[in-house]
Each structure stands twice: as structure tokens, then as C-alpha cells.
């Protein structure tokens, strides 16, 4: 099982010092990856129900807290780390122009030495699309075309593409990524699961979803893969992401991750506790020395 760290991206912990210390400590302690979430803007009040909470409320975002932009954050830590992977969890793909995004992502992967994993979502907040002057009801089809364009620019010398939303006639984009960028898909709807099978290398369960629900959803992904003639074993299962690094509680956190591992989860993340952000580097070192080897055994 691989274990990553969700970067301190929100609120008062989202400072240059905390980001650098946590990223470098995770790299040194043997963690596998660093992750950044994605919202461009946040409304005064959400109209759209949050799909991953029973009450429809997204309790992870408190306007007007700081929320660092995902790709800028990953680019920043790429230059301060050496080997640790860098991922988005998840990037709302239909909010971004895919030709420009192909350039930005390829540059990040190129300069980081091939460390990018692209976690992709279609978005859930209709009002965020509105303020960006983008159609919410066609975000799935925009995502499918964007995925095709990313792959085309990263694999073809010259790209010709004619779609419903995007048209490219004989253009190239350099640099290319160092190697194939893994695409992971977040979302528990059937269309997102189908995109995972069609385009993806991994599927990301709903944030902090109970293991029982994760495994039920994962079985749906596996069934869609089998129906499409794809080996489900070729898809990585990511789940969890709710555990905090708290002094005196690292053993309990490791037990939670072992339960995920026993359930078949192959990748998960932990988070810095805002109340103990100053101690997070030493907690990462301790967890890396005492618990990561057992999770990988």
C-alpha cells in the first residue's frame, strides 16, 4: 500500500513555511506522494449540495479561508522535493481550457522529473461553473474531449482534433511529459466509473467515504471494466484520506490504514492536523519510520 500526504492547502496552515516543511519532511520520510485539491473560487454560500456528505454540506471549505491553487502549489513543492510523486485530488477538468492545460501539466511533469499523477473530476458546484462562464450541464462531454486532447498533445507530433467543444488543426505542444502521466478519476457516478475504465489508471473513492461504501463502489468499477474487456487489476484503488497526523495517535492512524489495505485499497493519504501543524514534520518522520514499512509489507 502506498501512502501520500494531503498538502496544507487551506486556511491559516497554507503558508509558504508550512507547505515547504511538510512537503520536504514527507519526501525525506519515505511517503509516496503529495496531493492538492481544487476549487478556483468559493461562494459566500453554496447552493449546490455536496454529493459526498449525507447532509449535502461541504465541511472542508470555510469561506473566506485561504485555498491555494492546486497546480501552482504542486509546481512550488516540485522544486523543493526530489522523488515524491505529485497529484491532484481532484482537478476539475472541464473548468480549464485543455490546450493550455496540456502545456501547464506537461511542464510540471517535465520539471519535476516525471512525478505527476493527474486526478480528474467533473465538478459538483454549479455556481462555480457559472462564475467562470462555463456550462455546467455539459461538463461530462467537455471532460471527455479534454481527456482526448491531453493524450493527443502528449503523444502525437501534430494534433488534429474536431469535437463538439474544441477544434485543433495541425498544432504541437512541447515539452511532452517525461513518461505517460497516470490518470486517476474521482467520483462515484457511473459516467465517472466508465471514464476510469476508458481513460484511467486509477479510481479515487469519494473523500472520507466509509470502507463498506468504497468497496461497493469499487465492485461497480470492476464490473464495468470486465464488461469492457479490461482487467480490473490494471486499475489502482485509492481511498481514505481522512486521517490526521496527531501526536500520540499515530498507531491508531496506522490501524485505520491497515484496515483499508486489508480491504484491497492500494493507495491512501493522511493529513496534517491544523492544531499540530508545527509538529507535522516530526510526525511524518515518526510515521515513516515506524508504520510505513508495515503498510508496504
Q: What percent of the chain has pLDDT over 70?
A: 98
Predicted confidence at residue 133, as pLDDT, reads 96
Query: Is 18 in a helix, a strand, or coil?
Result: helix
CATH number at residue 20: 3.20.20.30
**Where are the alpha helices (H) located in 66-172, listed in sequence order?**
70-78, 98-112, 126-131, 139-155
Query: Is 223 in a helix, a strand, or coil?
Result: helix
Angle, to 10 degrees, between the axis of helix 70-78 and the axis of helix 98-112? 20
Given a contact cutoff of 8 angstroms between Cβ atoms, the answer to whether 2 and 288 are in contact is no
Query: Is 265 in a helix, a strand, or coil?
Result: coil
- Cell digits for 143? 471532460
pLDDT per position as a tens digit, 21-78: 999 999 999 999 999 999 999 888 889 988 888 888 877 666 668 999 999 999 999 9
Predicted confidence at residue 47, as pLDDT, reads 92
Q: Containing domain of residue 122, as a range?
A: 2-296
Given a contact cutoff of 8 angstroms between Cβ atoms, the answer to whether 235 and 201 are in contact is yes
Distance CA 22, CA 29 (A): 10
pTM (predicted TM-score):
0.96
- Cell digits for 194? 466508465
Domain count of the fold of the chain: 1
Predicted confidence at residue 61, as pLDDT, reads 66
How would you write the pLDDT of the chain (297 residues) with one tens digit per residue?
999 999 999 999 999 999 999 999 999 999 999 999 999 998 888 899 888 888 888 776 666 689 999 999 999 999 999 999 999 999 999 999 999 999 999 999 999 999 999 999 999 999 999 999 999 999 999 999 999 999 999 999 999 999 999 999 999 999 999 999 999 999 999 999 999 999 999 999 988 889 999 999 999 999 999 999 999 999 999 998 789 999 999 999 999 999 999 999 999 999 999 999 999 999 999 999 999 999 998
Predicted confidence at residue 55, as pLDDT, reads 85
CB atoms within 10 A of CB 8: 24
Kindly state the DSSP code that residue 232 receives in the 8-state scheme.
G
Amino acid at each position: 500500500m502506498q501512502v501520500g500526504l494531503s498538502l496544507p492547502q487551506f486556511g491559516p496552515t497554507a503558508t509558504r513555511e508550512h507547505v515547504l516543511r511538510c512537503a520536504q519532511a514527507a519526501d525525506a520520510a519515505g511517503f509516496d506522494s503529495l496531493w492538492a485539491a481544487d476549487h478556483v473560487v468559493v461562494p459566500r454560500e453554496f447552493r449546490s449540495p455536496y454529493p459526498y456528505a449525507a447532509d449535502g454540506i461541504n465541511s472542508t471549505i470555510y469561506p473566506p479561508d485561504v485555498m491555494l491553487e492546486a497546480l501552482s502549489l504542486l509546481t512550488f513543492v516540485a522544486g523543493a522535493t526530489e522523488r515524491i510523486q505529485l497529484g491532484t485530488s481532484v482537478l476539475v477538468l472541464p473548468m480549464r481550457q485543455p490546450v493550455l492545460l496540456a502545456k501547464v501539466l506537461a511542464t510540471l511533469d517535465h520539471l519535476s522529473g516525471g512525478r505527476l499523477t493527474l486526478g480528474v473530476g467533473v465538478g459538483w458546484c454549479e455556481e462555480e461553473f457559472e462564475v467562470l462562464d462555463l456550462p455546467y450541464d455539459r461538463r461530462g462531454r467537455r471532460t471527455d474531449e479534454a481527456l482526448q486532447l491531453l493524450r493527443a498533445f502528449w503523444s502525437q507530433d501534430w494534433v488534429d482534433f474536431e469535437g463538439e467543444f474544441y477544434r485543433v488543426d495541425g498544432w504541437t505542444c512541447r515539452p511532452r511529459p517525461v513518461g505517460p502521466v497516470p490518470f486517476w478519476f474521482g467520483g462515484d457516478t457511473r459516467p465517472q466509473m466508465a471514464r476510469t475504465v476508458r481513460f484511467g489508471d486509477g479510481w479515487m473513492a469519494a473523500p472520507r467515504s466509509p470502507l463498506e461504501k468504497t468497496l461497493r463502489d469499487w465492485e461497480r468499477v470492476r464490473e464495468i471494466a470486465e464488461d469492457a474487456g479490461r482487467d480490473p487489476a490494471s486499475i489502482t484503488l485509492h481511498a481514505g484520506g481522512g486521517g490526521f497526523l496527531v501526536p500520540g495517535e499515530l498507531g491508531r492512524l496506522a490501524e485505520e490504514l491497515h484496515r483499508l489495505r486489508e480491504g484491497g485499497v492500494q493507495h491512501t493519504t493522511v493529513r496534517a492536523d491544523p492544531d499540530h501543524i508545527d509538529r507535522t514534520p516530526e510526525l511524518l518522520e515518526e510515521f515513516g519510520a515506524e508504520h510505513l514499512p508495515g503498510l508496504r509489507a
